[in-house]
Structure 1
Amino acid sequence: MTEAPALRRRVQAVAAISCGTALVVIDGAIATVALPTIARDLHVDPASAVSVVTVYQLVLVMLLLPFSGLGDRIGLKRLYQIGQLVFTAATILCFFAKSLPFLLIVRAAQAMGAAATLSVASALIRRVYPPEQLGRGLGINSVVVSSAAALAPTLGGLVLAVGPWPWVFASAVPFAILSLLLGRALPESERSTEPFDLLGALLCAAMFGLVIGGLESAVHGDSPVVSAGVVAAGLIIAILFVRRERDEPRPILPIDLLSRPVLALSTLGAFTAFIATMTTLLSLPFRLQHVYGFAPSEVGAVLAPWPLTTMIVAPLAGALSDRYPAGALGGIGMAVAITGLVSLAFLPADPSWFDIAWRMSLSGGGFGLFLSPNARLIIGSAPVQRAAAAGGLISTTRMVGQTTGATLVAALLAMGLGGGTIPPLTAAALALVAGLCSIARLNPAIRNPPQEETAAAQPAQVR
C-alpha cells in the first residue's frame, strides 16, 4: 500500500474510533439533563428516573472486560462494528419508550453496545498508529472523551429546548452511523483460537454488578443490611473469580497484566485519578450554589475551564509520552493537579469567576498531563496479543473510578460534608497516590522487569 492511501485509511480509522468513542461518552452523560423531563412524562418519581443513568453505567462496567476477551476471539473490528449496530438499534428504540421499565431495558442494550465499542477502542488505536506515534493517538482519543463529556450537558439542553426527551438520545445516532461507515477502514486483527471463557465472563459481570450495585444501594438510603449483603456476595464472587483466573492462559480479568508492577501501578494511579476527578466535579456545584450563592446557570461556566484545559493538554501530553517517560510526566501532572485542588479547597470568602477558573484550569491541566501518558504506557507495554485486554482494563478502570467517585460524593453529601473543603482535599490526597504511583515507575527494575516471554510476545519498550 502506497503512502497516500495508507494515510487516508489511517485517518478514516481514527475518525471511526473517534466518532464511536464520542457517541458512547455523550450518551452516558447526556441523559442526566433529561431526567426531570423523563420523570414527568413517564409519571415516575425523580429517584426512579435516576436509574436511567445508573443502569447504563452499571451494565457498562459489568461488560467491558468480558467483551475485551470476546474481541480477541471474534476480532476487534467485528466486535467494534457489532457494538455500533447494537447501540444504534437500541437508541432508535428509545423513541418507543412509554414506560420506565422499557426505557431501562433499552438503556441496558445501549450500554451493551457501548461496552463492545469501548472495550476494543484502545487496542484498535494501537493497531492504527505506528509505535512511535501511539501516545499521540491516545492523546487525541483523550481529547475526544473530554470534548464529548463537556459537550453532552450543553447538547442535551439544546435538544430539550426544541424537542421531546427521546431526541436527547437520538443526538448520538449521527456519530454511530458515521462511525459505521468509516469503520470499514479499521484494521483486521488476529483471532485467538482458544474458546471464550463464558463462566469467567459471567463471574466478572456478577462481581462488578453486585459490589457496585450494593454500594450504590447503600448511599441512596436503602437497607444497610441488604446493601452489605449484596456487597459481601460480590466480594465472595470476586475471590472465587480471581482464584479461577490465575489458571487461565488469557484471563477475562487481566491478572497476567496486573502482575507486572508497571501496569499495576499505572492502573492504581488511573483509578485514584478518576476518583479524584469525579469527586471534585460532582461536589463543586453544591459548594458553589449553597456556600457561595452562584446561580445554576453560572455553575457550568465555572466548571468549563477544567475540561477545556484537559482538551488542550491531553494531546500534547500524549505526544510528549512518545519521547519522555510517562512516570515523569505523570508525576509533574499530579503535582500541578494537587496544587489546583488544594487551592480549590481554600477559596476566598467571596470568589469571583476568575478565582475559581484558574484553579479549575490548573487541576484539569494536571490530570490531562497524567492520564494520556498513563494510558499510552498501559497499552504500549502490554503484549500485542493482550492489547484488547489492556484497553478493556483502561476503560473499566475509568468507569469504576468515576462510579466510585460518584458514590463517595453521595456519601459525603449524606454526612453533610459534601459542600465544603473535604471533597477537594480528599481529591488532592487521591492525586498524591496517583503521583506516587507514577514516580515509582521511573525505577528501572519496575519499568523494565525481566521477561520470560518469547520475542514475539514482548511488549513495546516502556517509557
Structure 2
Amino acid sequence: MEKTVSDGLPIPQRYGAILTIAIGIMMAVLDGTIANVALPTIAHELNASPASSIWIINAYQISIVTSLLTLSFLGDMFGYRRIYQYGLVVFTLASLLCALSRTLEMLTVMRILQGFGGAALMSVNTALIRMIYPQRHLGRGMGINSLIVAASAAAGPTIAAAILSVATWHWLFLINIPLGLIALVLALRYLPANTHKSQQRFDLPSAVMNALTFGLLITALGNYAQGNFNWLLAAQLVALLVIGTAFVRRQLRLPVPLLPVDLLRIPLFSLSIGTSICSFTAQMLALVSLPFFMQTTLGLSEVQTGLLLTPWPLATMVVAPLSGYLVERIHAGLLGGIGLAVMAVGLFGLAYLPANPSDLDIIWRMVLCGAGFGLFQSPNNHTIISAAPRNRSGGASGMLGTARLLGQSTGAALVALMFTHFSGSGEHASLMLAGILATLAALVSMLRISTGKSAA
C-alpha cells in the first residue's frame, strides 16, 4: 500500500519527487513554444498553409486551458500522484505520435492529445509540491517551480534552434520520449500519495461547460487579436456570455465546485489570483510588443532582439529561488508588492527609452522587469497554494495554471488592441499599459498584508 504524507517527504525521497516534477513541468512548458521556430518547415513538409499551421500551436494551448480545472478536480478526487503519472504517459505517447504524423490534421489531433497530457502535469504539479515540502519550506519548492517554468519558457526557441540545426522537426517531439520515461520511473518511485481525497462526485455537465467557457474565451481573444471583428466573433461572445453565466451559476450551487468559487471567497486566495493574472498580462504585453519595437523602430536583427530579450528570463531564474527562501521570513504580500513595483519601474523605463538607446540602456531595464517578476512569482504561488485547505490543493493548483494562461492570452490580445488604436506607437502604448497593470497589481498585493493567514 502507498504511504501517505502529512508534512513533507524525507530528504532522499524529496529530491527524487521534485526532480520528476521538474522534468514534467519543463516538458509541458517547453512544448508550448518549442514548435514555433519550426512552423514554416513543418507547414512546407505537410503541404499546409502558414495560416493553418498556427493550429499546431493553438491546439496545444486550447486543450490545456479547457481541461486544466477538470484535471485538477480529478486530482482532488483520485490523487495528484495518479493524475500526474497518467499525464506523463499521455504526454509521452502523444509526443511519439506527433513525430510520426504525416498530415497537418493528424499532427493537430496529436497536439490536442499532448495538450491534455500537459494539462494533467500542470494541473497538479503545485499541489504535489505542497505534499513534497514541509509547510515551513514550501516557499523553496515554489521557488524551484518558478525557476523551471521561467527557464523552460526562455529556453524554448533556443533548444528548438539547436535541435533543428542537427536534426529534423520530428525530434522536437521525440526528445520528450526519454525524458518522459525517466520522469515516469521517478514518479512511480518517489511521488507521495494524497493524505486527504475529496469525496465529491465528478460533475460531467460542469466539465463540459468549463471546456466550452474557456475554449470560447481563448478563441474569442485570438480572433479579436487578429482583428476579426465579424459575425463569428459576435457569436463566440454571445455563446461565452450564455454558457459562462450558466457555468458560474451551477458552480455556486455545488458543495465542491469544479471552478473553485469556494476558494475565491477566501480574500487571500482571490487577491493572489488577481495579481497573478495582472502580472502575466503585463509580462505578455511587454514580451510580445518589444520584438516589434526592437526590429521595426530600432532596426535590430532577430538575433540581436533575442539576445536583448534574454536578460528578463535570466533575472527571473536567478531571483525566483531566492524569493522562495525569503517568503519563509517576509510576508508574501510585501515581497510581491515590492517585486511588482520593481517590474513596473522596468516597464515604464522601457516605455521611455531614449531615441537611440544603447544595449546597456535596454539590458538594465529588462533585468529590472525579470527580477521584479521573479521576486513576485514564487511568493504569490506559495500564497495561492497555502491559502487553500489541503484537500482542495488540486483546485488551487488548477486555478494557478489557469490564471497564468488567461493572463498570457489577455496580454497578447491587448497588444493587438494597442497596435490597432495607437497606430505608429502601439509598442509604447503596450509598455505603458503593462506598467500601469504592474503598478495596480503591486497595490493589490500590498492589501494581502492585512488579510487572514494561509490555510494549514
TM-score, scaled to structure 2: 0.95
Q: Distance in 1 between matches of 2:228 and 2:352?
A: 34
Task: Give 1:419 deviation, angstroms.
Answer: 4.8
Match 1:9 to one of 7, 13, 31: 13
Give the number of equivalent residue pairs.
Answer: 446
Aligned counterpart, 1:303: 309
CA contact (8 A) 2:347 2:435 kept: yes
Aligned counterpart, 2:440: 433
Match 1:274 to one of 268, 277, 280: 280
RMSD across aligned positions (CA): 1.5
Counterpart residue identity of residue 207, structure 1: T
Counterpart residue identity of residue 388, structure 1: G
Aligned counterpart, 1:147: 151
Match 2:342 to one of 336, 342, 363: 336
2:386 is equivalent to residue 380 of structure 1: yes
1:47-446 matches, cutoff 5 A: 47-184=51-188, 185-189=190-194, 190-222=196-228, 224-415=230-421, 416=423, 419-443=426-450, 446=451
Task: Give 1:348 deviation, angstroms.
Answer: 1.3
Q: Distance in 2 between matches of 1:80 and 1:60?
A: 14
Aligned counterpart, 2:6: none
Task: Give 1:73 deviation, angstroms.
Answer: 1.5
Q: Distance in 1 between matches of 2:187 and 2:117?
A: 15
Q: Distance in 2 between matches of 1:199 and 1:323?
A: 44
- SS of equivalent residue, structure 1 residue 87: helix
CA contact (8 A) 1:278 1:406 kept: yes
Task: Give 1:414 deviation, angstroms.
Answer: 4.1
- SS of equivalent residue, structure 2 residue 36: helix
Task: Give 1:403 deviation, angstroms.
Answer: 1.3
Of 149-158 and 192-201, deviating more is 192-201
Task: Give 1:258 deviation, angstroms.
Answer: 0.4
CA contact (8 A) 1:215 1:231 kept: no
Q: Distance in 2 between matches of 1:204 and 1:34?
A: 32
Q: Distance in 1 between matches of 2:211 and 2:424?
A: 32
- SS of equivalent residue, structure 1 residue 31: coil
CA contact (8 A) 1:22 1:175 kept: no
Task: Give 1:163 deviation, angstroms.
Answer: 1.5
2:443 is equivalent to residue 459 of structure 1: no
- Sequence identity, in percent? 43
Q: Distance in 2 between matches of 1:150 and 1:29?
A: 9
Q: Distance in 1 between matches of 2:272 and 2:427?
A: 30
Q: Distance in 2 between matches of 1:218 and 1:442?
A: 37
CA contact (8 A) 1:135 1:376 kept: yes
Task: Give 1:371 deviation, angstroms.
Answer: 1.1
Task: Give 1:297 deviation, angstroms.
Answer: 1.1
1:23-38 matches, cutoff 5 A: 23-38=27-42
Q: Distance in 1 between matches of 2:81 and 2:425?
A: 43
Counterpart residue identity of residue 438, structure 1: S
Counterpart residue identity of residue 284, structure 2: M
Q: Distance in 1 between matches of 2:285 and 2:57?
A: 17
The gaps in structure 2 that reach 5 residues or longer are 4-8
Counterpart residue identity of residue 323, structure 2: A
The gaps in structure 1 that reach 5 residues or longer are 449-457
> Structure 1, residues 112-150: CA drift from partner, whole Å, max 9, x if none?
000011100000000000000001100011000011111
CA contact (8 A) 1:126 1:134 kept: yes
Q: Distance in 1 between matches of 2:401 and 2:254?
A: 22
> Structure 1, residues 275-303: CA drift from partner, whole Å, max 9, x if none?
00011011100100000010111111100
Of 305-314 and 45-54, deviating more is 45-54
Task: Give 1:59 deviation, angstroms.
Answer: 1.1
Q: Distance in 1 between matches of 2:178 and 2:371?
A: 30
Q: Distance in 2 between matches of 1:77 and 1:202?
A: 24
Counterpart residue identity of residue 86, structure 2: I
Task: Give 1:172 deviation, angstroms.
Answer: 2.8
CA contact (8 A) 2:77 2:198 kept: yes
Task: Give 1:417 deviation, angstroms.
Answer: 5.4
CA contact (8 A) 1:409 1:418 kept: no
- SS of equivalent residue, structure 1 residue 30: coil
